[in-house]
Amino acid sequence: MAKAPTGRTPAPNGPFRVRRVEFPDDRSAAREILSIGCDPAAVPYLLPKSRMIAVRIAGVPAFAANLLKQEALAVGADAVVHRGACTLTVDRSDVLLLATPGQMGPLTEKLRIQVPTLRAVGQAIEGYLKSAEDGAPKVFRARDRIYPIGERTYLFGILNATPDSFSDGGFFASSEPALRRALEMESQGADFIDVGGESTRPGHRSIDAQEEMDRVLPVIRRIRKESSIPISIDTSKAAVARAALSEGADVVNDVWGMKRDPGIAGVVAESGAGLVLMHNRGTEAAPAGAPARPAESGGASGPSDVLSSVVDYLEDCLDAALAAGISCDRLVVDPGIGFGVSPEDSMRMIDGLGVVRSLGRPIMIGPSRKSFIGKVLDLPVDRRLLGTAASVAYGIARGADFIRVHDIAEMKEVARMADALRAAGRSGGAK
């Protein structure tokens, strides 16, 4: 696998995945602690420690999880394990390691002389810490375009060249109105135009690659002729992606994370395009609503499960992309709001973006006019503008770098204000 500062790494000599966990507040920390499966009574004692470095190690054998906790305590750190690990009533447990930078070094030193399983855990932790030294992602690259990450939020303007999309199906199904809408979004401040030719709404009709190309390629040609704005092709088919990139698209936005057509990886690698990988609970990987982890793995079913599922799924997608030769600075991850998940889980995804941030890649969210907004506000699709605005603002505060929306003019103002508030918080005061 290509070596890159992705913020995540597999263990060099073992199966243990290690990832950094970020806690914007105590509520997020408590949720992550409980997701391990520990005794809830321990949460008040563990919360102060969660303000240290927090890394999560997946699938540690129960006996090794207990030993790891003992070694952590010996250096003044701590490790959260599943309550069943102590009694060996579960086979494995995720471990949430809580340590200061000064404690992490002595701990990994101690693990080097432990049993082989703990040596492998220690090597995984050391490998992760080394790969994370470069910190957060600095840029996103799409062909020869470079977008600094962390300076401001970027907007993808949705352009559905479809007859059956849930919000604007049929409005822009021909190239002339689609071009007008693209140019309008550009004038309103869109950073990308995201062109899609196949609806992904619930119950949509699947179409073949030729029909999808017939819808999107004329639109892309018209936009590229009239504008230099970056174009994203919203597709899960390698043939469509290749054709769109040949017509001037810069990014592939795959709502199936390359799981429907793995050939997209090669297309993107060859072209140097950017790639958005989305988590989708509707894939063959797991039916919607299924627990993210089996009980014996130490994961807990419930509200936190969806975030663990998102991270595990996207981690697999990132590994596949890197293995195909796509550089990490061309990758963006999307938790997949509204795709095969409940309205409650969609909101948890936005609230839990700090967990997704552990993947070390920029984050996109697409809350625009989604059904979770309709459920909360009891409003139809055409009256969800303010609900979308609230979701966008909160998503940016939680760590989103890219926002995919219909209403560019309004969401541009929301993003600018959210960015200013976030910058003020970082600097300790407004400029």
Catalytic residues: 370, 404
- CB 98, CB 80: distance < 8 Å: yes
The two three-digit tokens of residue 365, written as one number: 């969210």
DSSP string, 34-54: HHHT--GGGHHHHTGGGGSEE
CA distances from 192 to 187, 199, 232, 404 (A): 12, 19, 7, 9
- Distance between CA 313 and CA 285 in Å, rounded? 8
- Distance between CA 210 and CA 239 in Å, rounded? 9
Sheet hosting strand 331-334, strand order edge to edge: 331-334, 274-278, 251-254, 231-234, 192-196, 154-160, 402-405, 364-365
Q: Which H helix or E strand runs over 274?
A: strand 274-278
- Distance between CA 300 and CA 297 in Å, rounded? 9
CA distances from 369 to 167, 372, 373 (A): 8, 8, 7
Phi, psi of 384 (to 5 degrees): -110, 20
Paired residues of 55 in beta bridges: 20, 97
- CB 396, CB 188: distance < 8 Å: no
Question: Which DSSP category does 204 fall into?
Answer: P
> How far out from the chain centre does Cα 381 lie?
25
- CB 55, CB 98: distance < 8 Å: no
Of residues 276, 282, 198, the one with CA closest to residue 230: 276
Of residues 228, 163, 220, the one with CA closest to residue 190: 228
Listed in sequence order, the residues at least 6 apart from 195 whose beta carbon sits closer than 8 Å to its beta carbon are 159, 161, 178, 216, 219, 220, 223, 231, 232, 233, 234, 244, 249
- Distance between CA 358 and CA 339 in Å, rounded? 21
- CB 277, CB 254: distance < 8 Å: yes
Cβ neighbours, 10 Å, residue 398: 21
